[in-house]
Amino acid sequence: MEYLKQDEIESRTYQEVIAVSAVQKNTLVVLPTGLGKTVIAAMTASKKLEEGKIMFLAPTKPLVQQHKRSFNKFLEVDEEELQIMTGDTSPRQREKLWKTKKIFFATPQVVENDLISQKIPKEDFSFVIFDEAHRATGDYSYVFISNKLSGLHRMALTASPGGSKEKIEEVAENLEINNFEIRTEEDPDVKPYIEEKNVQWKKVKLSSQFEKAKQHLDKAYRKQLKKLKSQGHLNKTSNIHKTELLKLRNQLSARVSTEDDPKIYSGLSHVAAALKISQAIELLETQGTTQAYEYLEGLETDESKAAKKALNDQDVQKAKSIVTYLKKRHREHPKLDKLVEILGNMESDEKAIVFTEYRASTNKIVEELNDSGQDAVKFVGQQGDDGMSQTEQIETLAEFDQDKYNVLVSTSIGEEGLDIPAVDYVLFYEPIPSGIRDIQRMGRTGRQEEGEVIVLMAENTRDEASYWSAYHKKRRMNETLQQLKNEDFAKPDNQKTLESNFNKKQEKEKEQENNIKIIVDDRENSIAKEISKKDIGLDKKRLDVADFIVSDRTAVERKKAEDFVDSLLDQRLFEQLNELEKNYENPLILIEGKNLFSHRDIHPNAVRGALSTIAIDYGITITWTKGKDETVEQLISFAKREQEEKEREVQIRGSKGGTTLKDEQEFIVAGLPGINTKIAKRLLQEFGSIRKIFTASKQELKQVKGIGEKKAEKIIDILQKQYS
């Protein structure tokens, strides 16, 4: 069957060539924004539909909605077969939908959760598409999803894959890519569809009062850096940027678990204060008076020690006084005046997108533009009190498209993939240091006709550093793409390596086929994800008792070392122990980490006393692990011993609900001495009801497989003896 609606697609040779290639191999498509990556995905999907279901992944809900609309337009498929899968759909509904619908448009977090919970019938799918594929690095959900869908034909789409060959190779390996279709704006088959972009940089100068406030904040910032240098945490105080402070914070935090050194805690405090001041400087330099004022005011109600340390600095207080003065007199950042001036010169039928890093800035920019006679509207993400719901986002884009508004003021949510046609101007309220995001922003214009890109920049501020950072990253990315094209990145040697890795992964998965299963509390998502990577059966549920169930008699309560001490201080620990002991024959406490005795609010002897109570009075086994990876291996080891060696089944005890009558019957019978879930099922099948089991004779009980003389005697004994 021909699923593609030919009359809905403009014939472009490069799209057809890429689609033919992508039908045959796992393909990474690198194509400038606005040149129809979604069209190529639809063309390829139309060829794979006969083989099975299709999954299209995109990082945001508006993008997911957009791809569904595009496929509905391009493919001859009943709209009822197209299904959006986001967090708005309950897990129970999703489990049914995965089995009944044909083409899915989903956010990666939802797919990751449903793969962990084994709700997706992987064998029914023939094709998966990863949009904004440059995200497939590190711990992002795409990497996990690709691993769990190993062997499934796939396509990856991006306009900006990364600044180095190594980064692109990492994305390719993580997504099992063995074919590359790379096009740049200079390629002859693409060039006819590229409109010119006129890029301008508009510099503005900060007023003397802005400069004075900035100088006070800079001075306060350097004080914190000098403290860090005096403690040996830094070897210099000049050119120390936020990224270096964040790296230092991580290093010091890691040392806390193994060293009891007061300088570490002091260093963390100074790093935190420096980061607070750094944020105030950035807002003042790049955003404006209102944003800096609101941030400094927010520190007044911030309970953290870092906020108090920052505010106690006299220079921070002097800067705050100047900022307050400027705000009262409505003296905003000079970039705002320049922005109003530029957009005031637009023709009546022209449109613009203004990008800004900060949500607080969208409100101020929209207010100023509307006061100047524009029809501006903000476009922001869902998080926070002033966030926009998915419905509001879609409605706003539709109204912008229908000319209700002529200016869209957007945070980063507007950068990736969204189809916003006929935009004449793209304005950066501030430069950004990311080459990928810079390319995405600029891709919002120059689609159907020539467009203007204008970058606002405050002189001698972080704006200039961000601009040059993005400039060099983009240049390196373009050089890398040209190099890869010239080298023919998809040459046989590279393909063999990738295919070899792919085959090894499949062989490993076959070797790791397991029948064991672990029930995981749905709040333990990071551990659940790691268990799932090991191809262990897994069921996520909300558990009222324990964090992990490895058999009908064995449950594990996991405590990070610091959590163990906290639960001891607030007395939760012994409540949890009572529930564990009451509901499971063989409860375990797993303590993860090393800094159990370094908590400043409790004496080590109190911790030792608690451990003694757990082991001696409660008779609960304590096991220790160094970190998350070791915890996962230990849980799998518990499960294998219980389920493979002891032949016990997995069953929740102590749950407050959500079970069927059958589950409850099995639960009651499995509470008899020596009876696991498997034997409980046999007893119920043999006798038909709990009452008949409880009134059965010893000889009748022995007829059931797994019950011998001693076990039958114990059951009769416990059922007939007087309670006292």
pLDDT digits over 205-246, tens only?
988 999 999 999 999 999 999 999 999 999 888 888 888 999
| CATH top-level class of 197-204+333-460 | alpha beta
Is 2 in a helix, a strand, or coil? coil
pLDDT at residue number 684: 93
The answer to whether the pTM exceeds 0.75 is no
User: What does the block give as tokens for 236?
Assistant: 């210099």
User: What does the block give as tokens for 460?
Assistant: 């001698």
Q: Where are the alpha helices (DSSP H) in 149-206?
A: 165-174
> Does the pLDDT at position 123 exceed 50?
yes
pLDDT digits over 516-565, tens only?
899 999 889 889 999 988 878 888 888 888 999 999 889 999 999 888 98
**C-alpha torsion sign, points 127, 132, 136, 141:** negative
Multiple choice CATH, 661-720, 3.90.25.10, 3.80.10.10, 3.40.640.10, 1.10.150.20:
1.10.150.20
Question: 208-328 and 661-720: same fold?
Answer: no
Q: What is the mean pLDDT of the chain?
A: 85
* Domain spans of the chain, in order of start: 6-193, 197-204+333-460, 208-328, 517-645, 661-720
What DSSP line would sit under 345-391, residue for residue? TS-TT--EEEE-S-HHHHHHHHHHHHHTT--EEEE--S-STT---HH
3-state SS, 436-484, equals HHHHHHHCCCCCCCCEEEEEEEECCCHHHHHHHHHHHHHHHHHHHHHHH
pLDDT at residue number 472: 72
The answer regarding whether domain 517-645 maps to CATH 3.40.50.880 reads no
Residue 589 bridge partners (DSSP)? 557, 622
> Does the pLDDT at position 512 exceed 50?
no
Cβ-contact 12, 36 below 8 angstroms: yes
Lowest mean per-residue pLDDT among 250-254, 304-308, 469-473: 469-473
Q: CB 298: neighbour CB atoms within 10 A?
A: 11
Is 713 in a helix, a strand, or coil? helix
pLDDT at residue number 514: 55
pLDDT digits over 637-652, tens only?
999 999 888 878 887 7
> Does the pLDDT at position 371 exceed 60?
yes
Cβ-contact 431, 457 below 8 angstroms: yes
pLDDT at residue number 706: 86
Lowest mean per-residue pLDDT among 144-153, 338-347, 471-480: 471-480
Closest CA to 109 of 149, 168, 61: 61
Half-sphere exposure of 9 (CA within 13 A, CB side): 26
Residue 125 bridge partners (DSSP)? 53
User: What does the block give as tokens for 534?
Assistant: 């090991």
> How much of the chain exceeds pLDDT 70, in percent?
88
CATH architecture of 6-193: 3-Layer(aba) Sandwich (3.40)
pLDDT at residue number 569: 83
Lowest mean per-residue pLDDT among 105-114, 323-332, 655-664: 655-664
pLDDT digits over 323-347, tens only?
999 988 888 889 899 999 999 988 8
pLDDT digits over 165-206, tens only?
788 888 999 999 988 898 877 788 888 887 766 778 888 898
The answer regarding whether domain 208-328 maps to CATH 3.20.20.80 reads no
Confidence of residue 316 (pLDDT cuts 50, 70, 90): very high
Q: CB 85: neighbour CB atoms within 10 A?
A: 23
